[in-house]
């Protein structure tokens, strides 16, 4: 009987944990969405890599790699 009690407890612990984690998924997900939305609003005006700058990068890469590489995406990092 001891063993059965343990296993019943395990059922409870297991389901509680799974619900707790998926609550965190929901809560955390909502929090992150709000957080990122807030950041977005602040950064919106300054978030594009200037076209001129991009052109320079593209041409430099093309020279360095003798045309073997191409710019797929430019991410502004600062």
Q: How far is the CB of 56 from other proteins (least distance, A)?
A: 9
Does 49 bind other proteins (CB under 8 A)? Our answer is no
Alpha-helical (H) ranges within 44-75 are 51-64
Q: How far is the CB of 59 from other proteins (least distance, A)?
A: 10
Between CA 76 and CA 78 the distance in angstroms is: 6
Q: How far is the CB of 54 from other proteins (least distance, A)?
A: 14
Does 55 bind other proteins (CB under 8 A)? Our answer is no
Are 72 and 57 within 8 A, CB to CB? no
């Amino acid at each position: 009987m001891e063993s059965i009690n343990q296993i019943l407890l395990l059922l409870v612990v297991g389901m509680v944990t799974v619900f707790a984690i998926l609550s965190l998924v929901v809560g955390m997900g909502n929090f992150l969405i709000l957080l990122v939305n807030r950041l977005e609003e602040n950064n919106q005006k300054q978030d594009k890599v200037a076209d001129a700058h991009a052109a320079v990068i593209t041409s430099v890469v093309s020279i360095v790699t003798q045309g073997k590489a191409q710019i797929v995406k430019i991410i502004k990092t600062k």
